[in-house]
Amino acid sequence: MKSNMNIFKNIYKYRELLKTSVKKEIRGKYKHSFLGVLWSFLNPLLQLLVYAFVFGTILKNPQENYVVFLCCGLIPWTFFSAALSRASFTMVENGNIIKKVYFPREILPISIVTSEAFNFIISTIIIIAFVFIYGLGITKYILFYPFVFIVQYIFSIGLSFIVSSVTVYVRDLQHLIGVALQLLFYATPIVYSTQTIPEQYRWILNINPMSYIINGYRDIFYYQTMPDLKGLFILLIAMIAFCAVGYLIFQKLQKGFAEEL
Amino acid sequence: MQENEYSIIVDNVYKTFNVYLDKANTIKEKLMFFKRNKKEKREVLKGINLKIKKGEVVALIGINGSGKSTLLKLMTKIIYPNKGRIITEGKLTSLLELGAGFHPDFSGRENIYFNASIFGLTKKEIDNRLNDIIEFSELREYIDNPVRTYSSGMFMRLAFSVAINVNADILLIDEILSVGDQHFQEKCFAKMQELKQQGKTMIFVTHSMDSVRQLCDRTVWLHQGVIRRDGPTNEVVDEYIKETT
């Protein structure tokens, strides 16, 4: 358990490094583009319109206010998938520094996930905008938004620990993750709702943490009811445990980073 | 344990590198060529035992490939030993690879912040040292220019100034007393003497026997991964010179 406490000590000590690298991630991402940070708005928005057109207009999804329904799933998903795929590259990208200087390596995946989390929080404005455009309005249940967000954040951190460290040893994982994310996209209730899935396939959604998380956001913004607090609470405990396991794997693997990169 | 007395304890450390002659990086290659994956084990350090007291200034000498730099890298925790352990006490800074993590598009000032934060300093601590760092680097009028416009000498001066001013208890220094021109080198040397007076623990890896004699009280001679001699600088260096020339 000692090494599990070390992570907090390390991060506190190197908080300035974490802060600057989060800033660098956010600023660096769109540094050379004309519209700059505006892209963190435009990207999910354009994606949303494409999906809304394909699944709403062409495939005629019967869901009422389909755009709102969709964006409650798509925007959290973008946070998740961007964090994961960028985490898989981060060690190789920073190989030069890793080989030369000591700093707690966990700073790298954490700053990736954190910068994507900032993007997500900003993108939430899109959800709120559509909620108002479609006349649904905001209810008191928005108070649970930070709770669902924290569950997702911890899940993403845990997964990024594993992905970023394993990729150093098995470079194929970078490519595999792209495909896996695409598959997972359809195994998560983003473009459809859980209820439309036949009973015999429900288990797929039930073992997928992202489906609870997205249903949580959806309860808050779309259905405007109380999210499944008991389920989310159990998920939170499970994700904290998952994150700890991820960190142990990371700690074990990081000792060889400088030699493998 | 006598943790208060020692800065660095190297306890029976072994380090082996896998040298790949033809490395299989992907699953496909690993599956297809798993027999062909030529790998050589090279034992670089074979059972090193070393205790360095607080405030000691120690030189590590030895011919190329004797394991000096590997030992320094192990102390900084960039790499880890296969066997044995290394305990360090206090804040440690390595001047192994100066300017690692410098971003060419950022200004000198921004790079000071970024580089110092890699060494584990907080914003406030960097704010307090910023003037000293700029002063020491003698880059005052260039400090807000992007680092890519610097000459290599200016680059090294800036990197050295950051590393030397982070207020570490232990400094690991690898062959960098050749930074910049004569004037700057002398200044570095004076700074080293000053840090020595302040009671910092320092470990030098160098081939310059003159600076070893001037700076270090104790010298450790590494040869083929084992400690050949460990003792007062003049004795060890004399013997080393006799043997190698």
| pLDDT, tens only, B183-232 | 888 888 888 889 999 999 999 888 888 888 888 999 999 999 899 999 99
Q: What mean pLDDT is predicted for residues B9-14?
A: 92
pLDDT for A182-194, tens place per residue? 999 999 999 999 8
- Work out the average pLDDT over B64-89: 90
Instruction: Decide if A101 and B97 are in contact by the 8 Å CB cutoff.
Output: yes
Average pLDDT across chain A, whole number: 90
* Residue corresponding to tokens 């995946």: A109
Which of B70, B122, B124 would you mutate first to test chain A, the one with the most A CBs within 10 A? B122
User: Is a pLDDT exceeding 90 seen at residue A86?
Assistant: yes
Contact B79 A13 (CB under 8 A): no
Contacting B residues, span 6-25, partner chain A, CB-CB under 8 Å: 17-18, 25
Q: At residue A3, does pLDDT exceed 60?
A: no
Domains contained in chain B, CATH given: 6-32+39-244 (3.40.50.300)
Query: pLDDT band for position A23 (50/70/90)?
Result: confident
Which of B40 and B162 is assigned the larger pLDDT?
B162
3-class secondary structure per residue, B104-142: CCCEHHHHHHHHHHHCCCCHHHHHHHHHHHHHHHCCHHH
Measure B118 CA to nearest chain A CA, in Å.
Answer: 6
Cβ pair A102:B113 closer than 8 A: no
The Cα–Cα gap between B199 and A202 comes to: 67
| Closest chain B C-alpha to A48 CA, distance in angstroms | 34
User: Does the beta-carbon distance from B120 to A103 stay under 8 Å?
Assistant: yes
Q: Average pLDDT of A59-83?
A: 93
Asked if residue B58 lies in contact with residue B218, where contact means CB atoms within 8 angstroms, the answer is yes
Chain A contact residues (CB < 8 Å to B):
13-17, 19-20, 24, 96-103, 170-172, 255-256, 258-259
Contact by Cβ (8 Å): A164, A257: no
Judge: A171–B25 Cβ closer than 8 Å, yes or no: yes
Give the one of B73, B92, B117 whose C-beta lies nearest to A16's C-beta. B117
Strand partners, B221: B61, B229
Contacts of B123 in chain A (CB under 8 A): 16, 19
For residue B125, the number of C-alpha atoms closer than 13 Å in the C-beta half-sphere is 19
Pairing mode, strands B92-95 and B170-174: parallel
Residue B222 to residue B150: CA distance in whole angstroms: 37
Q: Tell me what pLDDT residue B23 has.
A: 64
Q: Residue B106's pLDDT band (boundaries 50, 70, 90)?
A: confident
pLDDT, one tens digit per residue, over A93-121 is 888 889 888 889 999 999 999 999 999 99
**A102, B126: Cβ pair inside 8 Å?**
no
Q: Quote the pLDDT of residue B27.
A: 66
Looking at residue A154, its amino acid is: I
Quick one: pLDDT at residue B2? 47
Residues A94, A88: Cα–Cα separation, whole Å: 11
Distance from CA of B99 to the nearest CA of A (A): 10
Which segment, A49-63, A71-85, B21-35, is predicted with the most confidence on average?
Answer: A71-85
* A127 vs B177: CA distance, rounded Å: 58
**B25 or A226, which is more confident:** A226
Q: Which residue of A has its CA nearest to B76?
A: A102
- ipTM score assigned to the predicted complex: 0.81
Q: How far apart are CA A48 and CA A73, in angstroms?
A: 10
Q: What percent of chain A has pLDDT over 70?
A: 95
Residue given tokens 């307090």 in the structure block = B128
- Give the contacts of A4 (CB within 8 A, at least 6 positions apart): A244, A247, A248
Q: Which of A3, A14, A16, A25 to mutate to test the interface with B (most CBs of B within 10 A)?
A: A16
Question: Residue B26 pLDDT > 70, yes or no?
Answer: no
Count CB atoms within 10 A of the CB of residue A198: 6
Say yes or no for a CB contact (<8 Å) between B79 and A103.
Answer: no
Contact list, B114 vs chain A (CB under 8 Å): 20, 24
Residue A137's φ and ψ, nearest 5 degrees, are 75, 170
CA distance A206 to chain B (A): 31
Å between A96 CA and nearest CA of chain B: 8
Q: List chain B residues with CB under 8 Å of A17.
A: 117-118, 120
- Asked whether the predicted pLDDT for residue B171 surpasses 80, the reply is yes
Measure in Å the smallest separation between the Cα of B125 and chain A Cα atoms. 10
Model confidence at B25, pLDDT cuts 50, 70, 90, reads: low
User: Which chain A residue's Cα is nearest to B127?
Assistant: A16
Output the pLDDT for position B159: 87
Average pLDDT rounded to a whole number, residues B66-84: 90
**Residue labelled with tokens 């600076």:** B211
Name which of B17, B28, B78 is nearest A102 (Cβ-Cβ). Answer: B78
Among A222-226, A236-240, B77-81, B154-158, the least confident range: B154-158
Instruction: Give the sheet arrangement for strand B6-20, strand by strand.
Output: B39-53, B6-20, B83-88
- Provide the pLDDT for residue B163: 86
| B122 touches A: beta carbon within 8 Å | yes
Query: pLDDT tens digits, residue range A195-224?
Result: 889 999 999 999 999 999 999 999 999 999
| Rounded CA separation B76/B243 (Å) | 30
Residue A246: pLDDT over 90: yes
Instruction: Calculate the CA A217 to chain-centre distance.
Output: 13
Q: Note the helical H segments in A57-208.
A: 66-93, 95-100, 107-133, 145-169, 173-186, 202-206
Q: Is the Cα torsion angle A102, A3, A157, A125 positive or negative in sign?
A: negative
pLDDT above 80: residue A40: no
Confidence class of residue B1 from pLDDT cuts 50, 70 and 90?
A: very low
Per residue in B131-160, pLDDT (tens digit) is: 999 999 898 889 999 988 998 888 888 888
